[in-house]
Chain A
Amino acid sequence: MRRYLDFVGNIGLFALRAARRVLAPPFEFQMILRQIEAAGWKSLPLVLSSGFALGLVLALHTRTTLVQFGAQAEMPAVQSLAFFNEIGPLLAGLLMAGRVGAGIGAELANMRATEQIDAIEALSIDSFKMLVIPRIIACSIVLPILTIFMDVMGLAGGYLAERASSDLSLQLYISRGFHDVGWAAFVPPTLKTAVFGAVIGLISSYLGYTTDEGSEGVGRAATNSVVISSLAIILIDVVLVKAIFFLFPEGAI
C-alpha cells in the first residue's frame, strides 16, 4: 500500500514541478512541434481506422436493437451522441495511451539508461524542461484534435453501416445526427481529452524520466506507461463526466 501511495505522491510532485516549469522560459517550441508530429501526425492512421471500424460495428449492433423498437430513424443521433460524448474521447485517449504513452515511457527510459539525460544536464541544459514539458504540452494539444478525427470517422463508419441496410441519404444522416447535438454535447467532452493528454504525457514521462533500472527499465517503463495511463484516464473520465453534467446539464443525455 505504501508503495502505491509513494507512487501517487511522486507523480503529484512531478506534476507540480511540471506546472512550475511550463510557464518559465525558454519555451521549447521546436521540441513541442517535434512531439506534436510524433504524437499526433503519426497516430492519425490508427485513430482514423479505429474510429471508422468502431463506428461501423457500433451502428450494426445499435441498428438491430433500434429496429426492434421501431426507432431506426434515431440511429444517426445515437451514433453521434455516443461518439461525441464518450466513445470518441475515451477511445482516442486509450489509443494514445497505448501508442504514445508507451513510446514516451520507453524513449525517456532509454535516454536515462544510455546517459543521454545526463549528457543534456552536463551541457547545462534543463533536461526536464527540454524533454518532459514538450511531451505533456504536445499530448494535451494533440488528443482533442485526434478525438475530433475519431468522432468524424465513427460517424462515417456508422453511415456506411446504415447505407448498407437502408437508402438513407448522407444529407439526412448528417441532419438527423446533428439535430440533437448542442455544443454542450460536443465541446466539453472533446476538451476533456486535453486533460487525458496531459495525464498520459505526465505519467509516461514520469515513468521514463525517473527510471533507474538500466535497460531492463525501458520495457517496464513502456508497459507501466500504458497500464497506468489507461487506468488513470478511465478513473479521471468518471470525475470529468460528472463535472461536465454538473456544469453543462443540457449536455446530459
Chain B
Amino acid sequence: MNRETPPAIAFRKVSRSFGDRAVLNNVSFEVASGEVFCLLGRSGTGKSVTLKLTIGLIQPDAGAICVENDNIVGMDEDGLSKVRSRIGFLFQSAALFDSFSLHDNLALPLKRLRGKKPDEEIETIVQNTLDDVGLGKEGRKMPAELSGGMRKRAGLARALMLGPSILLVDEPVSGLDRVTASEIDDLLLRIQKRDNTTMVIVTHDTREARRVGDRVGVLDDGNLIAVGGMDELAKNPNALVRALVSEAQ
C-alpha cells in the first residue's frame, strides 16, 4: 500500500437513487494503490451498487468517481472501455457466459481486446491463469458443470485475464462453506501480494473483512458510517459498527 501516490479509486460525494429509493447518499472514500478495501454492511445497503459505479456500469446522480485519476462520471463509451481494461470484476454469481466453455470464457477478453495476439500465446495465458486458480484441468467444462467454489475461481480467473491493476470483488465467499471460502480468500491474498493489485471487496462476512482487508468501510442504508481498520472500528461510537465488527472476533 502506498499512500504517497494518488488514490486508485476515489468517491467524492457520490449519490445514487433508484426511483424514490436512495441507495447511496453523499458517499466519499478513497482506496490507495495496492490497498485491500473491504465494504461491509447488511444486505441492500448499496455495496454492490458501489462496485458497479466504480466500473461505470451505473452512473451516479451526483458526485465524482475517479479511477486512477480519470473521472468516469459522464465519460463516453470509448473512455469507459479504456478504464475498464484496467479493472477486473468478480461478480457475486461469477456471471460466466453459459454458452461458452470455461476456456472460452477466459479467452474471450484476450481475443476481443488483443486480437493480434497469436492463438498459441492466448492458449498459454488461459492455461496459466486456470492453473493459477486451481482449475487447470477444467478448461473444457461448461459453467453449468462447475461447483459454486469452482465458479468463483473461474470468475476470478476471467477477471484477471487482462492483468488488471484494480480488482473489484462482489461477495466472493457468499454461499460457500468455510473451507472453500477460506481457499478463495487465500487466493485473493496471494494475487494481491504477487501483483500488488488494488482490491475493493464487498462482503457481509466480517471474518473475511478482518482477514483480507487493510481497511474496512461500513455502509448502512446508503451512508458510509465508518472507515478504518477492524480494531479501530471495534471502538467506533456507532453501535451497528461495533456489532458488525464484534461478529468477527
Contact = CB atoms under 8 A, between A and B. Distances in A.
Interface of A: 26, 110-111, 114-116, 118-126, 130
A124 B89 CA distance: 11
Contact of B112 (A26, A116, A119): A26
29 contacts: A114-B93, A114-B95, A115-B95, A116-B95, A116-B96, A116-B98, A118-B52, A118-B57, A118-B95, A119-B89, A119-B91, A119-B96, A119-B97, A119-B158, A120-B97, A121-B57, A122-B57, A122-B87, A122-B89, A123-B84, A123-B108, A123-B158, A124-B81, A124-B84, A124-B85, A124-B109, A124-B162, A125-B108, A125-B109
A253 to B, nearest CB: 44
B98 to A, nearest CB: 7
B74 interface: no
Nearest to B51: A122
A111 B97 CA distance: 8
B55 interface: yes
B177 interface: no
Nearest to B87: A122
A124 B52 contact: no
Given A26-B115, A118-B52, A123 B109 contact: yes
Interface in B138-165: 158, 161-162
A124 B56 CA distance: 11
A218 B170 CA distance: 23
Interface of B: 52, 55, 57, 77, 80-82, 84-85, 87, 89, 91-93, 95-98, 108-109, 112-113, 115, 158, 161-162
Contacts of A125: 108-109, 112-113
A122 B162 contact: no
A101 to B, nearest CB: 18
A124 B95 contact: no
Contacts, number: 58
Given A119-B91, A124-B81, A125-B113, 10 more contacts: A26-B115, A114-B98, A115-B92, A116-B97, A119-B95, A122-B84, A123-B109, A124-B82, A124-B109, A130-B112
A120 B93 CA distance: 14
Which of A26, A124, A126 has the largest number of chain B CB atoms within 10 A? A124
Contacts of A122: 55, 57, 84, 87, 89, 91
Nearest to B155: A119
Given A26-B112, A123-B108, A125-B109, A118 B77 contact: no
A175 to B, nearest CB: 47
Closest CB pairs A-B (n = 9): A119-B95, A122-B89, A124-B84, A115-B95, A123-B109, A124-B81, A124-B85, A115-B91, A125-B112
A119 B154 CA distance: 13
Nearest to A118: B57
Contact of A126 (B77, B82, B89, B97): B77
Contacts of A126: 77, 81
Contacts of B82: 124
Contacts of B158: 119, 123
Contacts of B81: 124, 126
B93 A115 contact: yes
A132 to B, nearest CB: 15
Contacts of B113: 123-125
A130 B85 CA distance: 17
A123 B162 contact: yes
Contacts of B91: 115, 118-119, 122
